[in-house]
Amino acid sequence: MQHWDHSISTKNLTKSFGWDTHDSSLQHDAQEFKRVLFEKLDESMKGTAEEGTIQRLFEGHYMNLIKCIKVDYTSTSKEPFYDLLLNIKECRNLYDSLDKYVEMEKIQGYSTEQYGFQDIQMGRLFNSFPPVLQIQLQRFEYDHMKGTTINDRYEFPLQLDLDRDDGKYLSSEADRSVRNLYTLHRY
């Protein structure tokens, strides 16, 4: 497309997603489009030497953590991720957004099987980061009447060090011998 002097049809591309004319005219954000693309690529690589490439390149894992404040109860669950959707509202930079992402939140009256309703702290920490880390910034406030975009200054480093501050983004199960340093690119 870059080298053509006229527009080209995307019918073959959208058809490969299983979309008909109606589906291809619906609006999709970049994150949603990328997920559909990855799913279709993953399907097309099944049974080939490239099978599992999407997971090897883009899949990381985090641990959801629930900890009761007044009783000795902790619950964890491991979840995969292919990208991080980070909030930028009231954040100065990418590290502030990551701090918010892993921040422990206090919740009152959470129901546990063993102890009934308890006040808890809930949050997440990372077990592993993928070789290619994709970050999506949440730039829009969802005010259905205004539809506003956040236009505050926001900074990001050229290199993102996720091992900083003694690995504060990492769970106790994370492999600390792996270096989690990324050179950022914009797309």
21-78 tens-digit pLDDT: 776 666 667 778 788 888 888 988 999 999 999 999 999 999 999 999 999 988 899 9
Same domain, 40 and 83: no
Q: Is there a single domain that holds both residue 68 and residue 151?
A: yes
What is the pLDDT confidence band of residue 1, given thresholds at 50, 70 and 90?
Answer: low
Contact 105/123 with Cβ under 8 angstroms?
Answer: yes
pLDDT at 143: 59
State pLDDT tens for residues 133-176: 999 988 766 556 666 677 788 898 999 999 999 999 999 999 99
Contact 140, 148 (CB under 8 A): yes
Domains held by the chain: number: 2
CA dist., res. 20 & res. 24, Å (int): 6
Q: Can you give the residue range of the structural domain that contains 127?
A: 59-183
Sheet holding 105-112, edge to edge: 74-81, 60-68, 116-128, 105-112
Residue 105 near residue 121 (C-beta atoms within 8 A): yes
What is the pLDDT averaged over residues 88-96?
94
Q: Which residue bears the tokens 């003694």? A: 166
3: in domain = no
Same domain for 170 and 151, yes or no, is: yes
Q: Is residue 93 part of a domain?
A: yes
Question: Whose CA is closest to 28, among 10, 44, 41?
Answer: 10
What pLDDT shows up at residue 36?
A: 82
Residue 174, SS3 per DSSP: coil
Confidence of residue 3 (pLDDT cuts 50, 70, 90): confident
- Taking each continuous run of H as one helix and of E as one strand, the counts in the chain are 6, 8
Considering the domain architecture, whether residues 90 and 111 belong to the same structural domain is answered as yes
Instruction: Determine the pLDDT at residue 153.
Output: 87
Burial of 142 (0-12, 13-18, 19+ CB in 10 A): exposed
pLDDT score of 141? 64
CA distance 164 to 158: 15
| 182 strand-pairing partners | 160
